[in-house]
Amino acid sequence: MVDRYDVVIAGAGPAGAQCARDLATRGYDVVVLETEPETEFPRQSNKSTAGTFPSMMSAFGIPDDVVMSYTDDVVLESPNSYYESYQPGAVLEFAEFKRFLVEDGRENGAEYRFDARVSRPILDDDGVIEGVRYNGDETVYGEVVVDATGPAAPIASALDVVDLERENQAIGIEYEMEGVEMNHPEYADLRRAMMLRLDHDIAPGGYSWIFATGEDTAKVGLCYIQNDRHREFADEGQTVDGYLNEWVDRDPRFADAERLGEKVHRGSAHIQMPDGMHTDRFLAIGDTVPSIDPLWGEGIHKGMKSARAAAATIDRCLTDSERRLDAESLSVYERLWHRDVAPRMKSRLMLTRLLYLAPNERYDRFMRDLRAADENTLDKANQGDIAAMSKLLHLDDIQLLATFAREHFL
């Protein structure tokens, strides 16, 4: 007997689980295949800083139970300065958040198969996907297949839908710590804040962070993109673990801090324009696309949005009297992605590359510029607004812009 569903989803991360929630709520037969055993889920994939915003919580019905702390401010730090902006946020307990999405999907009728490693697509005689293989010779078929496995992307890669490039890969590590001095006199008050620090001495070619989870507890981590800028500033042979340990050792805010048990989170994502995200009877969502915010690395909200856009597209196609699931019909997803998930992606990628190309002294000036600018300048620039971005540039940035042009266009 053929094992068949309306939709087969590979991956039970935020994107895959949310897509299953939306489709199951609409009454579709959905199965989710997840690599990890259920008894350990999500130990291996508990990799996110889990910083997000109240808009995500309300839009997707996420309960307060999975929130470690609510924050009031976003703080940007440079080596010798900082900028504070009122922007409410939420720091999630990522494992509990993922388990909630799975259980809620199940309550609405989604089926989950854990310990199920997807390996490759099953193609019909015309070369169109009709199912997937997992755990060797196990098979499952669907009207539509969704790859939500993140950078692994076994189905999307096999179908030549995505090409995730190593030079655009960001890698990160995070500790959960207690005894952190969150209101140190030399720095901004971080007791109710999410802080991002631009400093090549700490995270060459990237950034570091402190996300408050309590009065003296926080998520502390860093990430960098494995690009030319990282290689220029990096110490030979230094690892991402080494950079984080060095920062913790020398920053006075961590003088009396200790790591909480074995709570170390690792992750990677790709910072690049998507090559594609769909073909006949197939969609890629979340970090498989990739959908992560290129500038500050926020991936939860983007992934959830991509899941909802995919679910809406699948629903539209399956309710069509002819049930058209070809690439042209599924292209609605790509239009929704560029409109709702990551608008102005090219502009935001350009800002990202310029930002991480800049030297440390330029970061100090950047903080001064932000304090002197209108309150919404950073928000507009973060959205890819060229006019707002231009307000943060100066005549003596010509050399920086020339270097950017040489590296990316010549």
Cα–Cα dist 74/85, whole Å: 5
The whole-number pLDDT of residue 22 equals 98
The whole-number pLDDT of residue 392 equals 60
The whole-number pLDDT of residue 317 equals 96
Helix (H) or strand (E) holding 339: none
Non-local CB neighbours of 241 within 8 Å, separated by 6+ positions: 173
Strands 193-197 and 67-77, by their bridges, are parallel
318-372 residue pLDDT tens: 998 787 999 999 999 999 999 999 887 777 777 777 777 788 888 898 888 888 8
The residue written with tokens 């197939």 in the block is 282
Cα–Cα dist 373/406, whole Å: 29
- For residue 316, what are its two tokens? 């539209």
The residue written with tokens 């805010």 in the block is 253
The whole-number pLDDT of residue 395 equals 44
pTM given for the model: 0.88
- For residue 61, what are its two tokens? 């019905």
The whole-number pLDDT of residue 237 equals 79
The whole-number pLDDT of residue 391 equals 61
The whole-number pLDDT of residue 311 equals 98
Neighbouring-strand partners of residue 175: 220, 264
Cα–Cα dist 302/342, whole Å: 7
| H helix intervals, 108-175 | 154-158
The residue written with tokens 């009207």 in the block is 143
The whole-number pLDDT of residue 321 equals 79
| H helix intervals, 72-193 | 94-107, 154-158
Residues of the chain with pLDDT under 70: 1-2, 44-48, 166-167, 227-230, 294-297, 377-386, 388-410
Q: Which of 282, 308, 280, 278 is nearest to 7 (CA)?
A: 282
Largest CA distance in the chain: 69
The whole-number pLDDT of residue 47 equals 64
Each as own residue / partner, the long-range contacts of residues 231-238 (CB below 8 Å, 24 or more positions apart, any chain) are 231/205, 232/204, 232/205, 233/200, 233/204, 233/205, 234/204, 234/205, 235/204
The whole-number pLDDT of residue 126 equals 95
Q: In angstroms, what CA-CA distances link 109 with 28, 106, 188, 323?
A: 8, 5, 47, 22
The whole-number pLDDT of residue 312 equals 97
* DSSP result, 344-389: THHHHHHHHHHHHHS-HHHHHHHHHHHHHS-TTHHHHHHTT-HHHH
DSSP state of 232: H
Q: Which of 267, 48, 282 is nearest to 160 (CA)?
A: 282
CB 70 within 8 A of CB 52: no
The whole-number pLDDT of residue 404 equals 47
How far is residue 22 CA from its own chain's centroid?
20
Q: In angstroms, what CA-CA distances link 157 with 207, 241, 276, 345?
A: 29, 29, 10, 22
The whole-number pLDDT of residue 16 equals 98
